[in-house]
Chain A
Amino acid sequence: MFALALTNGLVIGIVYALTALGVSLVVGIMNVINFAHGEFYILAGYFSYLFAHTLGMDPLAAMLIAVAGVFVLGLVVEYTLIRPTYGDDMYSLILTFILSIVLQSIYLLVFGPYPNKPPGWVKGATDIFGLFFYGNQRLAALGAGVAVIALFFAMLKLTWFGRMIRAASQDREMAELNGIDTTRLNMFGFGLGCALAAAAGVILAPVFPVTPTAGTPIALTAFVCVVLGGMGSMSGCVLGGLVLGVVENLGAAYVSTGYKHLFMFLILILVLLIRPAGLFGRREA
């Protein structure tokens, strides 16, 4: 039971980490928390369901188009809603919260309250070291999650865009002084953040189907990962995601399934009480 819960925790944890990376990226470069982050995750799930199931596209192509679609939507949202609020953090909170409710009610009208599930990529199950059989789809999700995270960090380390992101998250003013066009950086950063949520959505939707309101707990988990890892620390939030995934699943296995998400809140309270800068955050902002 322990090994199974641990594996479940790792699979979920990787997807949490992926979602949280998007939040962390946006907080890092523009100091904005996107309360509609979970709704972008859900949207990607719906898109991939729509493209693959209804239009009969190849699952992989459907996923890629879904992520690209959410990326573009992210650009539009940044341009129309977020950009005018720079310097007023309160308004970006309010706007993205309203946006999340608007998106939820659109999903409800278009897709109904029922869970929707895009087709799986693989079938069957694998024997894990003779301990238990584990669904291949979940293993594939784990692999895909790790791959996307690796790709993201490679982009951050190796490309020109990644260097700009790192510069801006360390010191915005310095980045501006050094000639970085932060307006464009914000726009693409926000889009990329949404695309990361979308990637998590398309990866996990075949395992956990999407519903109109399922985005809230997902976004909340991502926020807790970010606080746990330290606001603005990318590697911190990946670790935060893994920790949360494992704790949640061990808690569900040994304590109570119904209170699975309560452990997350307890972790948040503990972090705020004991180490507000997060596990890997800088001590001072």
Chain B
Amino acid sequence: MKAIAKRWWLGAAVAAFAALPWTLGVYHQHILIVSLFYVMMAASWNLLAGYTGQVSFGHAAFAGIGAYASGILAVKAGVNPWIGVAAGTLLAAVFGFLLGILCLKLGGIYLSLTTLGFSEILHIVINNEYEITRGTMGLQVPGLIAEYSKLAYFYIFLAAALVTLAVVHRLIHANIGLNFRAVQNDERAAAALGVDVVRVRVLAFTVSSALAGMAGALYGHYLLLITPQIPSLDQQFLVLSMTVIGGLGSFAGPIIGAFGLEILSEYIRAYGEYHVLAFGLVALIVARFAPRGVVGIWNGWRARRDLARAAGAAP
């Protein structure tokens, strides 16, 4: 009964959210679309960091791979942007798979180092191959739909975010999700129980990278201009902060973090570059004192309340 009620509530919430942009102006619709992009980024990064304990610093870079692959295909070869998005997703998956095989048998630190390196190299390539990528000027790309409409983009991004969340949900609740968490908790014990640790990690990293690639490709065709800002370390930092502040390793955490920080950053945009610093300090404090983020604080509070109630009910 309880599970069914929960499902109804969830459906109602999604429906209400889907109706929301009709009541909003273009600017606020834009904020929602950008937030949905960050939901995809944070949820897929969380799949890797939160559920398998591997920290990739190349998540924004994979979004960049998706965006540039799809954009360049559209501009140079006239490929349909939807096919471009599929190609960008696939390319990000291939890069993720190869980097994963290369580093993950060596341990987590190597993945962090190599993905950071990958992200730097991607920047160098983008800046050097000016003829193709237009460097920091940005590459103008066609949109996903013939007639530009924020409302239509909102529904495309909503659908993509729901697909991303469904993939993540399915993986963590399938049998493989148990393996993810076992590896994160204690990889030696996991191996002793028959878990192929390297395979589990490569799988999580590949899926996570592919989802970032898809998010990036869609985002590029929404902005209509692809710049090195998409695969930048600032972007990576934002995704990481959203996940950490929302709640690493929880399903709702990245969603809360993505909406919270994106909306907040629009409001404090007036203060210029201070918002990176402000987010950084908040993320630092949360990561240090509440490593499970807002969701962790909420769960802790509820557990204490239930405990207090149980104690109160006892004679």
**Residue positions of A touching B, CB distance < 8 A:** 33, 35, 80-81, 84, 89-91, 93-95, 97-99, 101-102, 105-106, 108-109, 216-217, 220, 223-224, 227, 256, 258-259, 261-262, 264-265, 268-269, 272-273, 276
One digit per residue, 1 when the CB lies within 8 angstroms of any chain A CB and 0 when it does not, for chain B 112-141 equals: 111011101100110110000000000000
A259–B123 Cα gap in the complex (Å)? 11
Identify which of A93, A94, A224 contacts B117 (C-beta below 8 A). A224
Tell me if B110 counts as interface (CB < 8 A to partner A): yes
Q: Are B287 and A259 in contact (CB under 8 A)?
A: no
A81–B153 Cα gap in the complex (Å)? 41
A97–B234 Cα gap in the complex (Å)? 11
- List B residues 156-197 near A (Cβ within 8 Å): none
The 9 closest A-B pairs by CB, nearest first: A102-B280, A105-B277, A258-B128, A101-B237, A105-B276, A265-B121, A93-B55, A223-B113, A98-B283
A93–B102 Cα gap in the complex (Å)? 20
Tell me if B291 counts as interface (CB < 8 A to partner A): yes
A37 to chain B, nearest CB (A): 12
* B113: chain A residues within 8 A (beta carbon): 33, 220, 223-224, 227, 268
* B296: chain A residues within 8 A (beta carbon): none
Contact A105 B284, CB 8 Å, known A220-B117, A272-B114: no
Q: Are A109 and B117 in contact (CB under 8 A)?
A: no
Q: Are A265 and B108 in contact (CB under 8 A)?
A: no
Q: Are B291 and A91 in contact (CB under 8 A)?
A: yes
Q: Are A261 and B124 in contact (CB under 8 A)?
A: yes
* B103: chain A residues within 8 A (beta carbon): 272
* B117: chain A residues within 8 A (beta carbon): 220, 223-224, 264-265, 268
A234–B273 Cα gap in the complex (Å)? 39
A91–B110 Cα gap in the complex (Å)? 15
B: number of interface residues (CB 8 Å): 40
* B124: chain A residues within 8 A (beta carbon): 258-259, 261-262
Q: Are B240 and A94 in contact (CB under 8 A)?
A: yes
A228 to chain B, nearest CB (A): 11
B79 to chain A, nearest CB (A): 27
A265–B49 Cα gap in the complex (Å)? 23
Contact A98 B110, CB 8 Å, known A80-B288, A265-B117: no
Tell me if B205 counts as interface (CB < 8 A to partner A): no
Tell me if B155 counts as interface (CB < 8 A to partner A): no
Q: Are A98 and B120 in contact (CB under 8 A)?
A: no
B151 to chain A, nearest CB (A): 34
* B234: chain A residues within 8 A (beta carbon): 101
Q: Are A94 and B237 in contact (CB under 8 A)?
A: no
* A97: chain B residues within 8 A (beta carbon): 55, 57, 237, 240
* A216: chain B residues within 8 A (beta carbon): 116, 120, 233
A174–B241 Cα gap in the complex (Å)? 37
B143 to chain A, nearest CB (A): 32
Q: Are A98 and B116 in contact (CB under 8 A)?
A: no
> Would you give 19 A-B contacts (Cβ < 8 Å), ordered by A?
A90-B55, A90-B108, A91-B287, A93-B109, A97-B57, A98-B237, A101-B237, A101-B276, A109-B274, A216-B233, A220-B113, A220-B116, A220-B120, A224-B117, A227-B113, A261-B124, A268-B113, A273-B102, A276-B106
Contact A89 B109, CB 8 Å, known A97-B237, A259-B124: yes
* A262: chain B residues within 8 A (beta carbon): 121, 124-125
Identify which of A81, A90, A264, A272 contacts B49 (C-beta below 8 A). A90
A224 to chain B, nearest CB (A): 7
A227–B121 Cα gap in the complex (Å)? 17
Q: Are A33 and B109 in contact (CB under 8 A)?
A: yes
Q: Are A90 and B53 in contact (CB under 8 A)?
A: yes
Q: Are A265 and B277 in contact (CB under 8 A)?
A: no
* B18: chain A residues within 8 A (beta carbon): none
Q: Are A102 and B284 in contact (CB under 8 A)?
A: yes
Q: Who on chain A is nearest to B113 by CB? A: A223
Q: Are A268 and B120 in contact (CB under 8 A)?
A: no
Q: Are B116 and A35 in contact (CB under 8 A)?
A: yes
Q: Who on chain B is nearest to A213 by CB? A: B233
- List B residues 214-266 near A (Cβ within 8 Å): 233-234, 237, 240-241, 244
Q: Are A261 and B280 in contact (CB under 8 A)?
A: no
New A-B contacts (6) at CB < 8 Å, excluding given A98-B283, A259-B124? A91-B291, A97-B57, A98-B287, A109-B274, A256-B128, A265-B121
A256–B281 Cα gap in the complex (Å)? 39
* A106: chain B residues within 8 A (beta carbon): 277
A273–B98 Cα gap in the complex (Å)? 11
Q: Who on chain B is nearest to A106 by CB? A: B277
A101–B239 Cα gap in the complex (Å)? 13
Q: Are B284 and A98 in contact (CB under 8 A)?
A: yes
Q: Who on chain A is nearest to B99 by CB? A: A269
A47–B119 Cα gap in the complex (Å)? 29
Contact A102 B277, CB 8 Å, known A262-B124, A265-B120: yes
Q: Who on chain A is nearest to B283 by CB? A: A98
A130 to chain B, nearest CB (A): 36
A29–B255 Cα gap in the complex (Å)? 38
B182 to chain A, nearest CB (A): 15
A42 to chain B, nearest CB (A): 14
